[in-house]
A = this chain, B = another copy of it.
Amino acid sequence: MFDFKYYTPTKVILGRNTQERVAELIREFGGTKILIHYGGGSVVRSGLLKQVTDRLDADGISYVTLGGAVPNPRLSLVYEGIKLCKKEKVDFLLAVGGGSAIDSAKAIGYGVANEGDVWDFYSYKRTAKGCLPLGVILTLAATGSEMSDSSVITKEEGLIKRGYSSDFGRARFAILNPELTMTLPDYQTACGCTDIMMHTMERYFTNGGNMEITDSMAEALLRTVKKNALILYKDPKNYDARAEVMWAGSLSHNGLTGCGNDGGDWMTHKLEHELGGLYDVAHGAGLAAIWGSWARYVYKNCLHRFKRYAVNVMGITDEGNDEETALKGIEAMEDFYRSIGMPTNLRELGVNPTEEELRLMAKKCADGVGGEKGSARVLNEEAMLSIYRASM
């Protein structure tokens, strides 16, 4: 067991119509001039943006808006947001949307609160000394960014996708109304469930420091998401299942499911980030497409964890030797992905990289992690290439 810090200051409000409390929460956390940051037109079309601005108008809180955050959010929009915030003297950010809007808002917050180029943080050149305070109205359960310390931004030049983590970026509040996620396409719901499970799986498949309370709560979370993802695949308007998944999304990435371990493996995420940088695929689908190949490449080096996962999460009856049990667990996980419409290889994901592109992704991935990385098994560039090839 390793020492750990657990810090989740975000005030979470979960329930129907909770977006109506936005002005009260902004006031509680000291916001007076707000940048409302959102993504595509869905929050406009659904009327949510108007609900929010009506609340702020009624409460006399002034604001500016900036839309356009896209999946794999872009650095250029972050620069635009920073400029706008400085010009308008914004002192509080409100992200309305999913991970793209939240991550983009965090990057804007770092850019306003620190001198110099915000990309420095994402390229590991400097650490941030602060961030504008942030609130969230979540419309998509997936990235866990509403409670996490992390954000991921893509630099257009070279399509470089990089993450940055800092407690300064943790949201002051997060409004979770499960009903706001009901209009998502089924594919996006399934992508979200995949991403949520992966945030805990990345922490679970490690070779160092595991705690029983962390593991058993992680397994509880994973079983819950799996069960409710299947419910939502058939019944997308099921409120309780939406709420279970939404809350699991926040808990899965706020640090709880990694307390006491070595920080996690995270290589499935790193491998997917290169896919996302090159092809703009949905993050959750990219993770599903890579995971099986990653798991088969590493499981023998982390057998006790893959066996435990098979038994405690996938419900494999513990017969045969540990390797057989572990492999059955991996197969069952891929079956689960397919059962909610997720791909289990790149072909099913709809991309068909050339050998040269596979090599390029492996090189960028290795460069991005400083050569090699991983806890279940340390991967170098050659290992990354092998996994990409196996995922074709």
Contact = CB atoms under 8 A, between A and B. Distances in A.
A124 interface: no
- Report the interface size class on chain A: 35 or more
A68 B211 CA distance: 35
A244 B15 contact: no
Oligomeric state, in copies: 2
Contacts of A16: 3
A244 B3 contact: no
Contact of A12 (B6, B213, B247, B251): B6
A173 to B, nearest CB: 9
A14 B6 contact: yes
Nearest to A218: B220
Interface stretch (A30-38, A130-138, A223-231): A223-231
Contacts of A220: 213, 216-217, 219-220
B213 A1 contact: no
Nearest to A16: B3
Contacts of A217: 217, 220-221
A223 B228 contact: no
B213 A224 contact: yes
Contact of A11 (B7, B228, B251): B7
Given A3-B16, A4-B14, A6-B12, A224 B228 contact: no
A104 B299 CA distance: 51
Contacts of A8: 8-9
A6 B175 CA distance: 11
7 contacts: A3-B13, A9-B9, A9-B11, A212-B227, A213-B224, A213-B248, A243-B260
Interface of A: 1-9, 11-16, 18, 211-213, 216-217, 219-221, 223-224, 227-228, 239-240, 243-244, 247-248, 251, 256, 259-260
